[in-house]
Chains A and B, each alone.
Chain A
Amino acid sequence: MSVTSIALAEPEMTLTRPDRGRVAMFGLIAAEAAIFTIFVVAYLFYVGKSLTGPTPKDVLSVPIFYTICLLSSSLTIHFAARALGQGNIRAFGILWFATIALGAAFLYGTATEWHRLIYHDGLTISTNLFGTTYYSLVGLHGFHVIVGLVALSLVMAFTLLGNVRAEHAERVDVLSLYWHFVDAVWVVVFTVVYVLGR
């Protein structure tokens, strides 16, 4: 039995369809945004409802330096992806590495902050509602930074092995969307935790 092929119309008919990687990444970002929304709502709902201390005002200090690190990594990854598109592999590698370094610096900032909160201020996830919501929300974001760093490091390894070329710019661009999202979420988390919630 042969397969019927349908070619009714003139073959010049074309269709502009979006790139599937981009669509899928936007889908993932929408799903992640919904997850973060629920955590943010929970955080805001529980602000000031802890029955015992410590309170955010007592223990939180605004992590300005590490926030600048993370947000500027959005710039470096943007220029890295652009450099790759122009075929400048060397610039791409340097900027890509800078992105990873800035992300890692941010994680280090979170680590020192948590260490201080746990060992100095005695705030853990089970201390009070503030602890529960704070560690969950900031931890969920930190987890996404870690996932992003793993993905970025893979690309870095491929770059060092000489396997990343200009034709991969589109894929690298899709990955950079995820990193931009992680940064954008930090803007929300920062506002909620360190500005509104304090």
Chain B
Amino acid sequence: MSTDALALPGGETLSRPFVDSLHEWVATVDHKRLGILYILYALLFLVIGGVEAGVMRIQLIRAHNDFVSPQVFNRMFTMHGTTMIFFVVMPLVFGFANYLIPLMIGARDMAFPRLNAFSFWLTAFGGLLLYFSLLGANGLYGAGNAPDVGWFAYAPLTSQTFSPGHSTDFWILGLLVSGFGSIGTAINIMATVLCMRCPGMTLSKMPLLAWLNLVMAGLVILAVSPLTAAQLMLLVDRYLGGHFFDTQAGGSAVIWMHFFWIFGHPEVYVLVIPAFAMVSEIIPVFSRKAIFGYPVMVAATICIGFIGMSVWAHHMFTVGMSSNANTFFVLSTMAIAVPTGIKIFNWLATMWGGKIEFKTPMLFCIAFLFQFLIAGLTGIMLSAAPFDWQLSASYFVVAHFHYVIVGAIMFAIFGGFYYWFPKVSGKMYNETLGRLHFWLFLIGFHLTFDFMHVPGLLGMPRRIYTYEPGRGWDIWNLIVTVGVVFQALGILVFGINLVWSYFKGRVAGSDPWDAWTLEWSTNSPPPAYNFAAIPIVKSRRPLWDLKHPSDPDWKFE
């Protein structure tokens, strides 16, 4: 990357020695730069995690393939899952939150800029620690291997007996460290949203993105901490000879599952609520209408946050819980469909009767709506315990949660990338390349994850490194792997678009979308201080008020 590329959000394009600007980026406490660092870091890990997925799909392309050994396959699915959740989607979510929230609430920075930098570097070094296992997992021999216990690391697989060496320890420490970073960022986001709003911006006038990220921050605080506690217990077991998850000494393997999923399921909402947030900002602008049902959207989000804390054991129906527990978790899981459905109807109602502009961000959001709906429907299917007994730990489940994480969350985030790229870089992205990315990724996504449901229904378990021919799985696995090629091409086009547009794109101006929230009122890219004068707002759409003084929103809210 050239020196100029690094001097981004301040807007100054003086050419300075590389070391100077590098130092500025390493020592920065500016929320915009930290947001960009989070996002670039996540994109790096997106490529790494994508390659790991590719390795698995090549291995499974036909029966009895021997592209990688069973051991390597185990490492690949462990690292793919861990990387994508903790070091791709979470940093993306935090990056966008960091960059956008202060701009959208009319603040000059986050509440705690230094805590912000500290949290980012914790996350960054957490990722490095995880991948350092490749070098350090066998001690000081300079050789090692990646963790191979699966991303939820069930006991007793993680005990010293079954996981000798240090690969599991690097998994624990990497997640522990990045978990501290996540909690720090969540506290920061919460304090920023509650304490840094500009004059006039009451809670009911905040942009939905700020509201939804506030709920996300609350969930991170309550959900990531149990994982931290469980990781500490695992360290006690592995290093101090404790017995928390040691079934030989009366410990319980099931309690690890509870502790993990008390984190694991709210984590899904930690990731998807910021995706909702982006969609809630993009759809109104490209439908040329204010968001439909703002208070209901907020209430539904808080509702999802609450119910989301009480559904975790639907990951554990096959463990053999009591029928009372099963019933509770079936019902709570089904209940969460209600607020989620409310949100989908609100987005549809926002588009209804609007003047829809099918630009790239909107295309991604429309695909999000359909795909999130389907992901939710398979989720309802799996929430029924008897159905889950049949299909738990099959490729049906894998297809379901990839529909959520790729089909919903990643599509929304790609929409966010294109929507805010002009603000962050000051340049307009290339619309043709954007559409090409959209269609390639859409085709690849559906080839991979639509057809992945089928081998699951036919009984193909997840995490197997190969399978027998003649079970009817072969053709579906071939199609699934072919889809990966399209997705990879889509990501390649996306990367080319970002880099090319940054250097060669036309200047975007401060408000290319004729949008309504405060970030579009300042320069693109925004200056270090964000706003020359702290704005004062009277409605949810301050820029609409500014552009239409005769017909302002605040008269009708």
Q: Is the CB of B546 within 8 A of A8?
A: yes
**A113 at the B interface (CB under 8 A):** no
What is the number of residues of chain A that contact chain B, defined by CB distance less than 8 Å?
A: 44
Chain A residues near B262 (CB-CB < 8 A)? 38
CA distance A2 to B523 in the complex (A): 8
Q: Total A-B residue pairs with C-beta atoms closer than 8 Å?
A: 164
Please give, as numbers and ranges, the residues of chain A lying within 8 Å of B27 by CB-CB distance: none
B-side interface residues, number (CB < 8 Å): 65
Question: Residues of B contacting A39 with CB < 8 Å?
Answer: 229, 233
CB-contact partner of A6 in B221, B250, B546, under 8 A: B546
Give complex CA distance A3, B182 in Å.
33
Q: Once bound together, how far apart are the Cα atoms of A2 and B11, in whole Å?
A: 13
Could you give, for residues 102-144 of chain A, a 1 whenever the CB lies within 8 Å of some chain B CB and a 0 otherwise? 0000000000000000000000011011001100100010000
Is B14 on the interface with A (CB-CB < 8 A)? no
Select which of A3, A23, A51 is within 8 A of B249 by beta carbon. A51
Which of B187, B195, B543 contacts A19, CB < 8 Å? Answer: B195
Among the stretches A10-18, A59-67, A68-76, A165-173, the one at the interface with B is: A10-18
Least distance between A163 CB and chain B CB atoms (Å): 20
Count chain B CB atoms within 10 A of each CB in A2, A8, A14, A32 and give the residue with the most: A8
Asked if B546 and A136 sit within 8 Å, CB to CB, the answer is no
In the assembled complex, B241 has its CB within 8 A of some CB on chain A: yes
A23 to chain B minimum Cβ distance, whole angstroms, is: 5
Cα distance, A103 to B188, chains bound together (Å): 29
Partner of A23, one of B191, B237, B527: B191
Does A46 belong to the interface (CB within 8 Å)? yes
Q: Which residues of A contact B521 (CB under 8 A)?
A: 4-6
Residues B196 and A20 in contact, CB atoms below 8 Å apart:
yes
Given A15-B202, A27-B221, do A6 and B510 touch, yes or no (CB 8 Å)?
Answer: no
- B250 and A46: CB pair below 8 A? yes
Is B474 part of the binding interface, using a Cβ–Cβ cutoff of 8 Å?
no
Task: Say yes or no: is B319 at the interface (Cβ < 8 Å to chain A).
Answer: no
Could you say which residues of chain B place their CB within 8 Å of the CB of A18?
Answer: 194-195
B356-364, B476-484, B533-541: which lies at the interface: B533-541
The reply on A34 being an interface residue by CB < 8 A is yes
Q: Which of A13, A31, A133 contacts B244 (CB 8 A)?
A: A133
Q: Which 4 A-B pairs have the closest CB atoms?
A: A126-B241, A34-B225, A38-B229, A27-B187
Query: Residues of A at under 8 Å CB distance from B?
Result: 1-9, 11, 13-15, 17-20, 23-24, 27-28, 30-32, 34-39, 42, 45-46, 49-51, 125-126, 128-129, 132-133, 136, 140
* 19 A-B interface contacts by CB (under 8 A): A4-B521, A7-B536, A8-B537, A8-B545, A9-B200, A11-B199, A23-B191, A24-B112, A24-B190, A27-B191, A28-B187, A34-B222, A35-B225, A39-B229, A46-B252, A126-B240, A129-B243, A132-B237, A132-B242
